[in-house]
Structure 1
Amino acid sequence: MTTFLCQPAARDILKKMGSDSRFFLQDDKPDSQVFVSPSLLSGRGQYRKAQHSIEWVPFAWTCHLDPQTGKVRRFDVMPFPTEKGKTAESHYCAASDLQLVLDSQNGAFDGMSHTGTFMTVKNKGGKACLLPAYPSVQFQTDDGKSVPVKRQAADGDTPAEDMLQSGIDLVLPQKSELHSALRWVSGDVYGGPHDCYTVTSLVVALGGNWLSYPLRSTFCSPEQGRVVVEQSPLSSQASVP
């Protein structure tokens, strides 16, 4: 299915990068193709150089789909450098190359005692890099304390922590951006004992880097419980899903 949906888009981009007609959207290692969501696939592959038919170049890729039509919205590629001494960590985005922006989307998250924010991560650097599909998020109060949070994937079934542990990474090309929607309970809706917190900032972990952005909101949970935060994976979808 991945080959059927994403291969045509991959072919055009890889050709511009120096590939001939031979390439694969997988390698010989486990989990070389990962289904993140109906609109997002990621993986590793390799292409053969047009000018050197015996030389193959490994790369990471991310395929962004329209979940309604199955058409490719965007296909991102990042060749892995082959220089001696390069490590996996060298492929991740550096904090100095990233910009974090939050947007309320004109109140699109508000309603039924819930609210949220639309998070955008921009690559200001000069090269593509990798980001975790579900970056770790923390919400801090004015005195710097973190609110106890339980993250949940946007489908309501898969805990985001499980997705993080699987090591799913996405390609973020230079001068490009990816987006994620975050939702939580903001109203005093719990009938019994409960806790509410006034948050003043969002802190995001991106490949070992931490970025913060001002965020003022109320978070509520059952007493001594964690605030449930619904989180969608980073994707090219530039509006609230």
Structure 2
Amino acid sequence: MTIRIHLRAATACGFALLLASGAADAADAPQTSQATQASGNQAVLLCRTDQLSLRLDDGGGDFNGMSHSGTYIVLRNRGNTACVLPGRVPVSFLDSHKRVLRASVQPMPGMHPGPVVRPVTLAAKGDAKGSLRWVSGEVFDNTQCIDPAYVRLRIGEGALTARIRGHLCGTANDGPRYQVVPFTSSPE
């Protein structure tokens, strides 16, 4: 009986610590579109699309195989000052007329509604790299696929668009689904 009480107390304390750390992570996330992080005495502003460039890189086939495919997403800060980029941004796949195609992001594994994804500081002229992954084979009963011509990333008030070659598949009920691997700063 005593062991059970100690176990419950330890579990409750562990859960409280987990919640507290999640609250701390949420407090660290950017709250406005102005200043987000302090770097010395200077605030680092959120990245704007007019200071970024977008490029896709298939990594020489890093994602291809077993009915899967994908691409690296590389964002470059073309500006002369550092800026902060959300760790994960909304993604849309578009047809050749730049109309949005039906595809949905798979939730990241972990706590619901998902793990905290920290923002990434992009140095002046620095890069951040993330990736998109998807099922490319018609492996489902009642498979539905799309062949996008463009991918669009929403960043703040704007968006960046790049050409893409892909074949995304999913079930007829869910439609094509993709995974987003959050951005990390690339070593300079």
Structure 2 residue ranges without an equivalent (≥5): 1-21
Is 1:193–2:122 an aligned residue pair?
no
Q: CA deviation at 1:149?
A: 2.5
Alignment map for 1:39-118 (pairs within 5 Å)? 60=37, 77=39, 80-81=42-43, 91-118=45-72
Is 1:211–2:160 an aligned residue pair?
yes
Q: CA deviation at 1:160?
A: 10
Structure 1 counterpart of 2:123: 173
CA–CA separation in structure 2 for the residues paired with 1:150 and 1:79: 41
Structure 2 counterpart of 1:229: 178
Contact 1:203 1:213 in 2 (8 A): yes
- Code of the aligned partner of 1:200: A
Contact 1:129 1:171 in 2 (8 A): yes
Contact 1:183 1:231 in 2 (8 A): yes
Is 1:157–2:109 an aligned residue pair?
yes
Is 1:184–2:149 an aligned residue pair?
no
- Code of the aligned partner of 2:89: P
Return the TM-score normalized by structure 1. Answer: 0.58
Any idea what SS the aligned residue of 1:96 has? helix
Per-residue CA deviation, residues 155-203 of structure 1 (Å, 9 max, x unaligned), is x51499745xx6842211211111001100111111x222111111110
Return the TM-score normalized by structure 2. Answer: 0.72
C-alpha change, 1:78 and 1:207, in structure 2 (3 Å) is farther
Contact 1:150 1:228 in 2 (8 A): yes
- The alignment covers a number of residue pairs equal to 161
Contact 1:60 1:78 in 2 (8 A): no
CA–CA separation in structure 2 for the residues paired with 1:31 and 1:91: 23
Any idea what SS the aligned residue of 1:146 has? coil
C-alpha change, 1:152 and 1:204, in structure 2 (3 Å) is same
Structure 2 counterpart of 1:65: none
Per-residue CA deviation, residues 60-86 of structure 1 (Å, 9 max, x unaligned), is 27xxxxxxxxxxxxxxx47554xxxxx
- Code of the aligned partner of 1:60: Q
Percent identity of paired positions between Structure 1 and Structure 2 = 24
Any idea what SS the aligned residue of 1:106 has? coil
Contact 1:78 1:173 in 2 (8 A): no
Structure 2 counterpart of 1:143: 97
CA–CA separation in structure 2 for the residues paired with 1:31 and 1:173: 27
Q: CA RMSD of the aligned region, Å?
A: 3.0
